Copies of this chain bind each other. A is one copy, B any other.
Amino acid sequence: MTDLEKRSINAIRFLAVDAVQKANSGHPGLPMGAAPMAYVLWREFLKHNPKNPLWHDRDRFVLSGGHGSMLLYALLYLTGYEDMTMEQLKAFRQLGSLTPGHPESHITPGVEATTGPLGQGIANGVGMALTERFLAETFNRDGLTIVDHHTYVITTDGDLMEGVASEACSLAGHLGLGKLIALYDDNKISLAAPTSVSFTEDTGERFKSYGWQVLEVEDGNTDLDAIRRALTEAKKEKNRPSLIKVRTTIGYGSPNLANTHTAHGSPLGPDEVKATKENLGWPTEPDFHVPDDVLAGYRQAAAGGEGIERSWKELFDEYGKAHPEEKKTYERFFGGKLPEGFEKSIPVFSPADGSVATRKASGSVINALAPVIGNLIGGSADLAPSNNTYMKGIEEQQKKSPGGRNIRFGVREHGMGAVVNGIAYHGGVIPYGATFLAFSDYMRGAVRVSALASLHTIWIFTHDSVWLGEDGPTHQSVEHIMALRAIPGLTVIRPADANETAEAWKIALKGTGPFALILSRQGLATLDRSVYADAAGLTRGAYVLGDSEGGTPDVVLIATGSEVALALKAKDLLEEKKKRCRVVSMPSWELFEMQPAEYRRKVLPPEIKARVVVEAGVRQGWERYAGDAGRIVSQDTFGVSAPHKDLVKKFSFTPERVVEEALASILEAAR
């Protein structure tokens, strides 16, 4: 290691140490230990242009151990990402800074993924590598390799203990994602203790069993050549992802805290900061010191990225000349645009179609769109036949068919979630992932990040209530619709019939941020839209499906999904009893709340206080729309295993029950 290399690495370390100390909060240990591998990777291997963090063909870098965020911020600063100024480093973990406690992709240019919830980052990397290979297969032509980049991940003990990482890495091995390279910061220390107390498996052997190439760097603290050799070796391997175990020392350089879990998650303290600087031959002041030659070296190397992007642009122009249609498609994909008139291919369902489960309607829509939207890609966690998510006639994503768009995620819900997020982070495609609604629990960690990072991912959750019947309470959702609605930024849609399902797909494709489509197992009558309002009302979240004749309604029935038909039956009965009734289909709270107050008042007039809400899930939260005088027909206990028809009776989801509640609410409202 040259003196300049040593100081360049120490610059990373001490930017992290000083920033954590200034914030009096943060995790210095990882940046101190991982600085050498990060230095080699970012200086000598990473293809990127700090002047354009969004250049499509850049290598992707994910810091899966997001708690080491200062490592990444230091690298962004040193290599010259414009927004990442010294002021930002000094504002680490402060309100409004670009340097939050854990990396957030929607906040900081150059941050590819929101990490911190462990295990997900490396799974995001799997999704990125999958996408790169898919786009390469789709667009590259002889001599015109416009998609060609690697995905690098720095991952930690904590990540590799997490099941989500196991799931995604097993899948990555199966798919043979050769351009995924993970550097494992193997420091034998986690937050609470040395890994010897809980994590003594042979991680290298485990990754070999997944089908990965496993390489080792024995001394990741000082042996830069070994890191270089391993990265070079990893890049040579085209058919397997690579894990490079890099043996490091957490808190490297700290005389008293190195190799202890204390260095993981707390500032070193002023005395130890000083001692560490002295130990590594670093000036004890000023803080945030970066030697001029060190900065110049980083900036110079990164400046090369401009040239590389320029060459790529030339290549891309050439590509455009040779393949003008493909170029247009490429630009549409990366522009996040849908093909003009794509809606026309979406089927319109008629009452003559009879009873159609919304999962099946969704399957029809997916299959109608598959040939039209060439970058719609996704699949199910081993439930494709049940989730109706398989695109017939479209290739399967496999080692031998990397251009396939049907992904077989296996029984790996959380892995699927984080891989789908990784696909969305990469850009250029629209991903979806599917499972039973009850198992949305398994992937909730990833659904949450999709909302936080505002990723355009489509989650398909079928078998949406106790009405799935015989499989019983382990598979019957009662609380999940509401638990998903609780996640800020996630748009949850539970369509009432086939045409609402089609509308849900339209808005999910055109929208921003993540969507969750909540779909029925059982058949639902296709509503006659010549009698009831157009299904396009779904796009406003809630709409009046029908009003009784004769003036202001006596009561408003609000329902979602499979319960809308029930509300309509209750309306007929109420009319027999001379009660005027409005039925509101309310597939999406989030879309409804985005409407102007005027529209909302029109659909749910504040003066009509007699209301009944009907949804086969927990009531929690429906009070918002029911109001004090309203009633709620809900499912507040776990279901039981029995045929659908028996459950309807057991849980009293009958028109008569709704009528009863409506009459009670009318009385209550009149008090």
Residues of A at the B interface (CB closer than 8 Å) are 23, 25-26, 66, 93-97, 100-102, 104, 114-119, 157-159, 161-167, 170-171, 173-174, 190-193, 195, 197-206, 208-211, 380, 382-386, 396, 398, 408-415, 438-439, 441-442, 444-445, 448-449, 451-452, 469-475, 478-479, 482-483, 485-489, 618, 620-621, 623-624, 627-628, 636-638, 640-643, 646-647, 650
Whether the Cβ atoms of B163 and A415 lie closer than 8 Å is: yes
Query: For residue A479, which residues in chain B have a CB less than 8 angstroms away from its CB?
Result: 448, 483, 486-488
Query: For residue A96, which residues in chain B have a CB less than 8 angstroms away from its CB?
Result: 640, 642
Residue in B162, B190, B385, B483 whose beta carbon sits within 8 Å of that of A191 in the complex: B385
Tell me, in angstroms, the Cα distance from A259 to B384 when the chains sit together: 18
Task: Give the residue name and chain of the B residue nearest to A165 (CB).
Answer: B163
Measured CB to CB, the closest approach of chain B to A290, in angstroms, equals 23
Whether the Cβ atoms of A26 and B158 lie closer than 8 Å is: no
Measured CB to CB, the closest approach of chain B to A208, in angstroms, equals 7
Whether the Cβ atoms of B382 and A198 lie closer than 8 Å is: yes
Instruction: Pick 10 A–B contacts, CB within 8 A, sort by A.
Output: A95-B641, A100-B641, A157-B411, A163-B165, A163-B414, A193-B384, A485-B620, A486-B620, A489-B637, A621-B623
Task: Give the residue name and chain of the B residue nearest to A193 (CB).
Answer: B408
Whether the Cβ atoms of B620 and A475 lie closer than 8 Å is: no
Residue in B206, B398, B410 whose beta carbon sits within 8 Å of that of A209 in the complex: B206
Contacts A210-B206, A411-B161 given; indicate if A102 touches B646 (C-beta within 8 A): no
Contacts A93-B642, A211-B200 given; indicate if A488 touches B482 (C-beta within 8 A): no
Task: Give the residue name and chain of the B residue nearest to A624 (CB).
Answer: B623
Measured CB to CB, the closest approach of chain B to A437, in angstroms, equals 12
Measured CB to CB, the closest approach of chain B to A8, in angstroms, equals 28
Tell me, in angstroms, the Cα distance from A483 to B447 when the chains sit together: 14
Contacts A174-B200, A382-B192, A479-B487 given; indicate if A161 touches B618 (C-beta within 8 A): no
Task: Give the residue name and chain of the B residue nearest to A200 (CB).
Answer: B174
Query: For residue A475, which residues in chain B have a CB less than 8 angstroms away from its CB?
Result: 101-102, 116
Tell me, in angstroms, the Cα distance from A662 to B385 when the chains sit together: 53
Whether the Cβ atoms of B486 and A115 lie closer than 8 Å is: no
Given contacts A161-B412, A442-B445, A478-B488, 17 further A-B contacts (CB under 8 A): A66-B474, A94-B646, A95-B650, A102-B472, A158-B382, A163-B164, A163-B165, A163-B166, A170-B199, A174-B200, A192-B384, A192-B408, A198-B409, A200-B211, A204-B209, A442-B444, A486-B486
Task: Give the residue name and chain of the B residue nearest to A645 (CB).
Answer: B95
Query: For residue A100, which residues in chain B have a CB less than 8 angstroms away from its CB?
Result: 472-473, 640-641
Whether the Cβ atoms of B162 and A163 lie closer than 8 Å is: yes
Tell me, in angstroms, the Cα distance from A434 to B627 when the chains sit together: 37
Tell me, in angstroms, the Cα distance from A163 to B94 when the chains sit together: 35
Query: For residue A628, which residues in chain B have a CB less than 8 angstroms away from its CB?
Result: 627-628
Contacts A100-B472, A162-B167 given; indicate if A382 touches B190 (C-beta within 8 A): yes
Query: For residue A386, which residues in chain B have a CB less than 8 angstroms away from its CB?
Result: 191
Tell me, in angstroms, the Cα distance from A174 to B444 when the chains sit together: 27
Whether the Cβ atoms of A190 and B638 lie closer than 8 Å is: no
Greatest chain B CB density within 10 A among A449, A479, A643 is at A479
Whether the Cβ atoms of B621 and A158 lie closer than 8 Å is: no
Residue in B102, B170, B205, B469 whose beta carbon sits within 8 Å of that of A641 in the complex: B102
Measured CB to CB, the closest approach of chain B to A627, in angstroms, equals 5
Contacts A161-B167, A445-B439 given; indicate if A197 touches B408 (C-beta within 8 A): yes
Query: For residue A488, which residues in chain B have a CB less than 8 angstroms away from its CB?
Result: 478-479, 618, 636-638
Residue in B94, B410, B478, B487 whose beta carbon sits within 8 Å of that of A199 in the complex: B410
Task: Give the residue name and chain of the B residue nearest to A166 (CB).
Answer: B166
Measured CB to CB, the closest approach of chain B to A465, in angstroms, equals 14
Contacts A93-B641, A650-B95 given; indicate if A618 touches B486 (C-beta within 8 A): yes
Residue in B95, B210, B489 whose beta carbon sits within 8 Å of that of A638 in the complex: B489
The 4 residue pairs across chains A and B that have the minimum distance between CB atoms: A163-B163, A100-B641, A116-B474, A198-B410
Whether the Cβ atoms of B192 and A383 lie closer than 8 Å is: yes
Contacts A117-B474, A396-B197, A415-B163 given; indicate if A620 touches B618 (C-beta within 8 A): no
Query: For residue A158, which residues in chain B have a CB less than 8 angstroms away from its CB?
Result: 382, 411
Query: For residue A166, which residues in chain B have a CB less than 8 angstroms away from its CB?
Result: 163, 166-167
Task: Give the residue name and chain of the B residue nearest to A413 (CB).
Answer: B162
Tell me, in angstroms, the Cα distance from A415 to B163 when the chains sit together: 8
Whether the Cβ atoms of A211 and B205 lie closer than 8 Å is: no
Whether the Cβ atoms of B209 and A203 lie closer than 8 Å is: yes
